[in-house]
């Protein structure tokens, strides 16, 4: 199977993760112009399964090192399957909350608040489990990300005050989603052997773990997404029949693309984890916050009519994120 041979390549994969995780929500914004996000989310979950299967049968089954995809799945023990599945279940409710927050508050707000919190918690939890990197530099970087979260919340407060909107609901959903998002990665990581070349019996390689994780997402959709369908945070309730009656090829394709983009990032993050460590791999991937905020500010113009002083907060937010992520990267070398 494909295994990164250097920390530099692992960082490169994490950068791709950051771009993917910060960009997939654009598909949601495109699709939900025509139908509600719970319907979009079914296609999104199908896209995640498709990408993980493709990677499993290609990158996960090529070369002489490690175990092949099918062989690896068959040898996994109950605890590995359970851990990866739970990771999918936890991720799913967390992601649905953040997706709902995007629907209410926009990408420039929901991502920095929700995913920023997830970064702080996720790095901490994964570093405690597998301490790789200098903790002072790593957590100094995390601290700067926390500052960026506060700056973004202040910018949103200014914008919502001018628009006379109520920011509380969007922010609360982002916070709740971010807290849960901070823990899903550890469940998946716990199912993976840290030696990819000669993986430990019973544990998975990244390719199998991410596929089982995707099954957890899909199965839990029947609970979590059904709640959002029938008890939506915004808009009207939808039924399962609406997925077939109101959707068209283009809408379904957009949802599939969103899931494929996100799953590409998740797969690369896990593939990079042997060389980078889970804490750094997760932390760099969650630099998606910066990417998503950039989409929201520069492409979707979510702060176009913001009051005076908001732009300064936005630029300070970007600066804090960039410096924080830089410290996360160099912490591996210290």
Q: What is the pLDDT of residues 30-79, one digit of tens each?
A: 887 788 889 999 999 999 999 999 999 999 999 888 999 999 999 999 99
Short-list 226, 216, 202, CA closest to 36: 226
Structure tokens at 232: 């939506």
Can you tell me the distance from the alpha carbon of 267 to that of 229, in angstroms, rounded to the nearest whole number? 28
Cα separation values, 83 from 111, 125, 154, 186, Å: 26, 15, 37, 9
pLDDT at position 165 is 56
Per-residue model confidence as pLDDT tens digits over 129-186: 999 999 999 999 989 988 887 887 778 777 766 655 555 778 889 899 999 999 999 9
- Residue 269's pLDDT band (cuts 50, 70, 90): very high
pLDDT at position 166 is 55
Average confidence (pLDDT) over 244-259: 94
Can you tell me the distance from the alpha carbon of 178 to that of 47, in angstroms, rounded to the nearest whole number? 22
Q: Write down the residue that tokens 């905020």 correspond to.
A: 293
């Amino acid at each position: 199977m494909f295994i990164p041979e250097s920390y530099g390549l692992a960082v490169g994969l994490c950068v791709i993760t950051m771009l993917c995780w910060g960009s997939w929500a654009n598909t949601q914004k495109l699709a939900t112009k025509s139908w509600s996000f719970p319907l979009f989310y079914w296609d999104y979950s199908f896209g995640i399964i498709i990408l993980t299967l493709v990677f499993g049968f290609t990158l996960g089954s090529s070369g002489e090192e490690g175990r092949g995809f099918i062989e690896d799945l068959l040898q996994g023990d109950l605890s590995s399957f359970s851990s990866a599945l739970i990771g999918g279940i936890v991720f799913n409710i967390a992601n649905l909350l953040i997706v709902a927050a995007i629907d209410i508050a926009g990408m420039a707000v929901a991502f920095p608040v929700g995913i920023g919190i997830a970064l702080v918690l996720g790095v901490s939890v994964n570093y405690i489990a597998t301490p790789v990197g200098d903790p002072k530099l790593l957590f100094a970087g995390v601290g700067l990300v926390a500052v960026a979260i506060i700056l973004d919340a202040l910018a949103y407060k200014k914008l919502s005050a001018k628009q006379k909107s109520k920011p509380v609901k969007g922010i609360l959903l982002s916070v709740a989603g971010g807290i849960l998002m901070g823990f899903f990665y550890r469940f998946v990581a716990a199912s993976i052997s840290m030696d990819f070349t000669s993986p430990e019996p019973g544990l998975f390689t990244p390719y199998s773990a991410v596929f089982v994780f995707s099954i957890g997402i899909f199965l839990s959709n029947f609970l979590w997404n059904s709640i959002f369908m029938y008890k939506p945070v915004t808009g009207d309730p939808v039924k399962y029949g609406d997925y077939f009656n109101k959707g068209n090829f283009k809408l379904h394709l957009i949802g599939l693309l969103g899931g494929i983009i996100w799953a590409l990032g998740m797969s690369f993050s896990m593939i990079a984890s042997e060389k980078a460590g889970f804490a750094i791999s997760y932390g760099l991937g969650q630099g998606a916050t910066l990417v998503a905020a950039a989409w929201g500010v520069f492409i979707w113009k979510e702060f176009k009519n913001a009051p005076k002083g908001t732009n300064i907060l936005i630029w300070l937010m970007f600066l804090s994120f960039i410096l924080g992520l830089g410290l996360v990267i160099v912490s591996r070398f210290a």
